[in-house]
Amino acid sequence: TSKATTVSLQEMKRNRHKIVMLTAYDYPTAKVAEAGGTDVILVGDSLGMVVLGYDSTLPVTVDDMVHHTKAVTRGAKQTLIVTDLPFLSYHISTPEAVRNAGRLIQEGGADAVKLEGGREVIEQVQAIVRAGIPVCGHIGLQPQMVNQLGGYKVQGKDYEGAKRILEDALLLQAAGCFAIVLECVPTLLAQLISERLSIPTIGIGAGDGCDGQVLVIHDMLGITEKYLPKFAKKYAELAGDMTAAIATYSQEVRDGQFPEAHHGFKMSDEVLERLVE
Ligand code: KIV
Ligand code: NA
C-alpha cells in the first residue's frame, strides 16, 4: 500500500475507510508500527511519560521531539509521520510556533505536526499552515493542560463543555487543520463532531463514531506495566514476555548455560600455541 498523505486521509473519511493511527517513539517501534499496517504514526509527546519516565508530558522539549522523530522517520519511510508540538512551544508567540513546527519537519523529518487547543491556538494553526506545514488539531482532554484541568478527566459531558468542543472543532477545520484528535470525550459528542466536519476525526477514548483511532503503542502492546486508562485495549502482554526472557537469560548466564560453543568465534590452535609459548 502507498504512503498516506494529509490529503488522502480526507479521501479515506469520504470513503468511510477507518484511519489507523498509532504512536511510535524510536526506530524499532516505528518499524513494527509500519509493518503492522498503521496508516499514520504519531510521535506523541506522550513519549515523555512512556519512554522518558516523566509524570506528565510537560517536561518534553522541542529537542526531545526532534530527536525521537529522527529515529521514527528512519524506521517508517512508507508511513505518514505526525509529530506533537510539546508544551509551551507554540504559546509564546506565533513566529515561535512556526519556527518550532518547522524544526519538527526540517530537522526531524516529520510530514505534519499536531498541537493541542481550540479557539486559543487558531492564529498559530493558520500561520503554521501558511508556512506549508500540515497541522492536526487535538481537543477534548488536552494533557498539556493537566495542571489547569486538575487531572486527566473526560471533557465535554455537560452542554457548555460539549458546545465549546464542537465549536473548537469547526474553528480548527476553518483554520486549515487536516484532521483533529478527539481525546476522552463522550461517544455521542465525538460522533456528532465527526458528522459535522469534512476533515477526519481520530479518536482516543472517544468511541466508535470517529473517522479513525489512535492508541499509545506501549499501552496496546502491554510493554508498560502501569495503570491503563479505560479506553486503552491491550493486544499483547509484552512486558511479561520481556521479563520472562530476561529472567531466563539471567539464569543461563549464572548457570553457565549461555553462551554455548556456537555463539563464539574460532581461532586456530596454532595461534593459541604461539600465544602461550
Ligand atoms: O501524545 C500522544 O500520544 C497523543 C495521543 C494520545 C493522541 O497525543
Ligand atoms: Na500528545
Q: How far is the CA of 130 from the centre of ligand 1 (A)?
A: 24
Q: What residues are designated binding site for Mg(2+)?
A: 45, 84, 116
- The region that residue 151 occupies, defined by phi over 0 for left and psi between -120 and 50 for alpha, beta otherwise, is left
Q: What is the pLDDT of residue 226?
A: 75
User: Among 25, 58, 181, which is best to mutate for testing ligand 1, by the most ligand atoms less than 8 A from CB?
Assistant: 181
Q: Are residues 64 and 78 in the same domain?
A: yes
Q: Is 149 among the domain residues?
A: yes
Q: Is 2 among the domain residues?
A: no
Q: Are residues 89 and 205 in the same domain?
A: yes
Q: Are residues 231 and 248 in the same domain?
A: no
Q: Is 156 among the domain residues?
A: yes
Which ligand does the CA of 21 lie closest to?
1
Q: Are residues 268 and 170 in the same domain?
A: no
pLDDT band of residue 57 (cuts 50, 70, 90) is very high
Indicate if the pLDDT at residue 227 is higher than 80. Answer: no
Q: Is 119 among the domain residues?
A: yes
Q: Are residues 171 and 40 in the same domain?
A: yes
Per-residue b or e along 106-120, where b marks 16 or more CB atoms closer than 10 Å to that residue's CB: eebbbbbbbbbbbee
Q: How many domains does the structure of the chain reveal? A: 2
Q: Is 135 among the domain residues?
A: yes
Indicate if the pLDDT at residue 198 is higher than 80. Answer: yes
Q: Is 1 among the domain residues?
A: no
Domain boundaries, position 257: 241-276
Cis peptide before 186 (omega within 30 of 0): no
Q: What is the pLDDT of residue 225?
A: 75
Q: Is 182 among the domain residues?
A: yes
- Segment 249-276, tens digit of pLDDT: 999 999 999 999 999 999 999 999 999 9
Q: Are residues 175 and 216 in the same domain?
A: yes
Q: Is 116 among the domain residues?
A: yes
- Segment 63-107, tens digit of pLDDT: 999 999 999 999 999 999 999 999 999 999 999 999 999 999 999
Q: Tell me: ipTM over 0.90.
A: yes
Q: Are residues 180 and 255 in the same domain?
A: no
Residues with CB under 6 A from ligand 1: 23, 42, 44-46, 84, 138, 181, 183, 204, 214, 216
Q: What is the pLDDT of residue 77?
A: 98
Q: Are residues 167 and 251 in the same domain?
A: no
Q: Are residues 210 and 261 in the same domain?
A: no
Q: How far is the CA of 196 from the centre of ligand 1 (A)?
A: 23
Q: Are residues 158 and 254 in the same domain?
A: no
* Catalytic machinery residues: 183
Which ligand does the CA of 24 lie closest to?
1
Q: What is the pLDDT of residue 224?
A: 85
Which residue's CA lies nearest to atom 1 of ligand 1? Answer: 44
